[in-house]
Amino acid sequence: MDSVRAARLLQGVRAAALAGQAPPVEPRPVIEQSWDRLLRCGLDPDHDFRTGLLPRVEVEERRRNSPLLEVLPTLREGLVSIADAAQHIMVVADADARVLWREGHPSVLRRADGHGFELGADWSEATVGTNGVGTPLVAGRPVQVFSAEHFVRTHHPWTCAGSPVTDPRDGKLIGVVDISGPIDTMHPATLALVNSVARLAEAELRTRHLIGLDRLRAVAVPLLSRVGGRALAVDANGWTAAVTGMAPHDRLPLPKSFGPGRVWLAALGECTVEPLPGGWLLRLDDGADAPRGLDPGTFVVLDLSGTRRWTVTVSGASGSWSHELSPRHAELLYLLAAHPAGRTASELAEDMFGDPARTVTVRAELSRVRRYLSGVLDHRPYRFHEDADVQIVLPEHPADLLPQSTAPAVVRARLDPV
């Protein structure tokens, strides 16, 4: 089917969806889910809504602070020449869907200006509808949007393919890379190309992370050899470079306000923190290697109200601590919070994969979760500690619960909320 016929067919699919009628063919699931979200939030399907552009000074500040700046040469090398030849443009946006860089074919850049696809523009799904920047950020996976798959009618002359980029150093979503252009220049391999280049960028960030750890280790090892008791050196994201007097940790989740002085960490207890070039030296109080137990009156807040970012916060007599969750860990903690009596590994495998035999994957992920929720989670069965007061903050609309999740139990919860 050529692009013109495909665009006409999709116009009919979109019109039926907006009218609440049966479409001639079903929209792709990722597109249908996006349309459902936008219908619920009341976005106008026929007109653009453009927020103000960020001032150039703020764009420059976001560029300087974005990890994407480190891998921009990789993105350019992999995509700009191809985008230019195909009469497309490459767009790089941050985790807020703000456009930070654009490069590619000059005529398409001019058309993008008239379309509001400019530096500093907000291309979040909730602002401009289904698109190759905002929708991948919500869905948490690569998405191609062709013509009338865009929710807003004025975007129909465009096709776009975007892939989210995650920082392997802390697991956070840092932005999206997108290729956009006129519908008659669309190629079915564009999405695979964009996704491959996004993965190359993540691999480069991982390599930079390992180099940084090696440098920190070279500084820390001589210091640790002179430290009495338990101590370790970690980088700014909590990854361990060297330890002495204790079992090693792969990574310690650090609070946002982490800095020199006395701090309490869920996995270690009380520590004294000193700065090192590229990281921190943590000296632990004397005591057993076991993580600190649960404080009386501990509160756990599992915030799943967002569509892209989820957190767990633990508060008690020793202080408060928050951790941003990966999609998989958000799923697991939701399932445990929804079953206070606990779940076996087999039951969680059934909940997450529809296959009770996939217990190895479940146990491995829960082992990672317990590294930052030591004392808060029990096992046999897996559950929150009976003394923890657990609260779940859910989205306003049940259908927005962990929208990227395909876990059968989460899908059921969206359709039939308790």
- Give the pLDDT confidence score for residue 290 in this predicted structure: 42
Residue boundaries of the structural domains of the chain: 3-207, 227-284, 299-415
Q: What does the pLDDT look like over 7-40, one tens digit per residue?
A: 888 888 898 888 888 888 899 999 999 999 999 8
The answer, yes or no, to whether residue 109 has pLDDT greater than 60, is: yes
Among 299, 314, 323, 330, smallest CA distance to 395 is for 330
- Give the pLDDT confidence score for residue 90 in this predicted structure: 94
Q: Could you tell me which residue, 94 or 267, shows the higher pLDDT? A: 94
Q: Name the strand (E) or helix (H) holding 346.
A: helix 345-353
Per-residue burial over 142-153, b = 16 or more CB atoms within 10 Å of its CB, e = otherwise: bbbbbbbbbbbb
Residues pairing with 275 in the sheet: 280
Strands 269-276 and 261-265: antiparallel
Q: What average pLDDT score do residues 358-363 get? A: 93
* Helix 359-372, helix 327-338: angle, nearest 10: 90
Cα distances (Å, whole numbers) of residue 263 to 137, 254, 319, 379: 34, 10, 9, 28
Report DSSP state, residue 140.
T
Q: Could you tell me which residue, 320 or 313, shows the higher pLDDT? A: 313
Q: What does the pLDDT look like over 340-356, one tens digit per residue?
A: 999 999 999 999 999 99
- Give the pLDDT confidence score for residue 199 in this predicted structure: 97
pTM score: 0.79
Question: 3-207, superfamily in CATH?
Answer: GAF domain (3.30.450.40)
Confidence of residue 62 (pLDDT cuts 50, 70, 90): very high
Q: What does the pLDDT look like over 122-174, one tens digit per residue?
A: 999 999 999 999 999 999 999 999 999 999 999 999 999 999 999 988 888 99
Phi then psi for 366, rounded to 5 degrees? -65, -30
Collapsing DSSP states into helix, strand and coil, what is residue 338?
Answer: helix
Among 365, 313, 374, smallest CA distance to 343 is for 365
Q: How many CB atoms lie within 10 A of CB 89?
A: 25
Calpha distance 280→251 (Å, rounded): 13
Calpha distance 221→159 (Å, rounded): 53
